[in-house]
Structure 1
Amino acid sequence: MAREVRAFAVTVLTLAALGVAAGLVWSGLTPRAPYQVTEQGTTVLADPATQALIAADGWYAVITGALGLLCGGVAWFSGRQWMLPVLLGLCAGGVLAAFLTLWTGTTFTIGAVTVEAAAAPGVKVVPGALRLTASGVLVSWPLLAVGFFGLLEGMHGYRESPLRHPYGIGPDLGERR
């Protein structure tokens, strides 16, 4: 029982650490939306046609989705002895990693952030904070990690299954098992 708990905990903690790193990468790669500072000191979106808000969602989905696939594959190959704890760790750790990626990316700004927007003379344009507008991309990490893990296990199970050779006929036609 202790080994299963340890396999679960290692999986969750590994994915959590990757989530923090993914948040820093997301913060460094994602363009910021341009915001205009009003006379009252508040900010409003300077360019309503900007694609930066959509790009933030897309970069988040690409980064966390790729890491989900990577984690699912590595977990399947390395966790063959403790399949269920590793699978549960992928699910719980993927959710935790997704939220840590979001928190890290929105809290820390990596690199120089510049924005471009068509503004009237004398208007101050500043980069906006990084945020997600499509909250559905939060499930990309755990969904792809667990899904890829299940796909690999299903392919492996089918390869060793007696259903692969119906009627007891082996790979060489006519040979009985």
Structure 2
Amino acid sequence: MRHARDFAVTVLALAALGVVAGVLWSILAPRPPYVVTGRGPVLADPSTQALIAADGWFAVVTGAFGLACGAAGYSLSRRGRPLAVVAGLAAGGLLAGHLATVVGGAVNLGAVSVAAAGRNLPTVAGPLELTAQGVLVAWPMLAAGVFAALEGLAGYRDSPLRRPFGGRDPYGPISSYDISGGGPAR
């Protein structure tokens, strides 16, 4: 029962952070310029870099949240149920990334627009959306990756493989060697 609780708490905490990440992404990412025509809005400059920049800012924001969540999840799960927390980081990271795209597209706080190159038409800031869907996995991958790296470091630090032979020298203490003959002293 505690495993399910840890999983659910982790997913819900990351979902709440996904809303915050969406607002932050909305503030930071530029909007592509659109021209309003009789047929509706049309992308003013097909070679605009604003679409790519929006994906990049999404990856930066959700990646930073993923790193922080992975470290926090590791430090809070030291009680002995890390599997529930790391599964919650992966599932919650996916949910948080999706919520960040929905909230970021709906909030529209940072109406920074990139000007259309070589156009003298009035432009409006377009909607904020992802064009590269692969950046949705930045949050869960980095969160689970940081968790796994920290768990691996702690496991190595406590591992008996780090101190072979029980921490003793297999050849005995140095004082028992005959330096001139190259073997044990007799």
Decide whether aligned partners of structure 1 residues 135 and 120 sit closer, same or farther in structure 2, where only a CA change above 3 A counts.
closer
Amino acid at match of 1:44: V
Q: Which moved more, 1:128-137 or 1:103-112?
A: 103-112
Corresponding residue number in structure 2 for 1:72: 70
Secondary structure of 2:56's aligned partner? helix
Corresponding residue number in structure 2 for 1:104: 103
1:33 aligns with 2:29: no
Amino acid at match of 1:80: R
C-alpha RMSD of matched pairs (Å): 1.8
Q: TM-score, normalised by structure 2?
A: 0.85
Q: Which moved more, 1:144-153 or 1:48-57?
A: 48-57
Decide whether aligned partners of structure 1 residues 170 and 70 sit closer, same or farther in structure 2, where only a CA change above 3 A counts.
farther
Amino acid at match of 2:54: A
> Equivalent of 2:40, from 42, 56, 60?
42
- Note the 1:44-59 alignment, pairs <5 A: 44-59=42-57
Corresponding residue number in structure 1 for 2:17: 18
Retained in 2: the 8 A contact 1:46–1:119?
A: no
Name structure 1 gaps, 5 residues minimum: none
Q: TM-score, normalised by structure 1?
A: 0.89
CA distance in structure 2 between the partners assigned to 1:155 and 1:43 by the alignment: 53
CA distance in structure 2 between the partners assigned to 1:101 and 1:95 by the alignment: 10
Retained in 1: the 8 A contact 2:29–2:110?
A: no
Of structures 1 and 2, the larger Rg is shown by 2
CA distance in structure 2 between the partners assigned to 1:9 and 1:165 by the alignment: 38
Decide whether aligned partners of structure 1 residues 174 and 146 sit closer, same or farther in structure 2, where only a CA change above 3 A counts.
farther
Following superposition, the deviation at residue 12 of structure 1 comes to 0.7
Name structure 2 gaps, 5 residues minimum: 174-186
Retained in 1: the 8 A contact 2:21–2:100?
A: yes
Q: Deviations over 1:62-97 (max 9, x none)?
A: 000010010000000011112111111111111110
Retained in 1: the 8 A contact 2:50–2:114?
A: no
Decide whether aligned partners of structure 1 residues 42 and 24 sit closer, same or farther in structure 2, where only a CA change above 3 A counts.
same
- Note the 1:127-166 alignment, pairs <5 A: 127-166=125-164
Q: Deviations over 1:126-158 (max 9, x none)?
A: 111011111000000000000110000001000
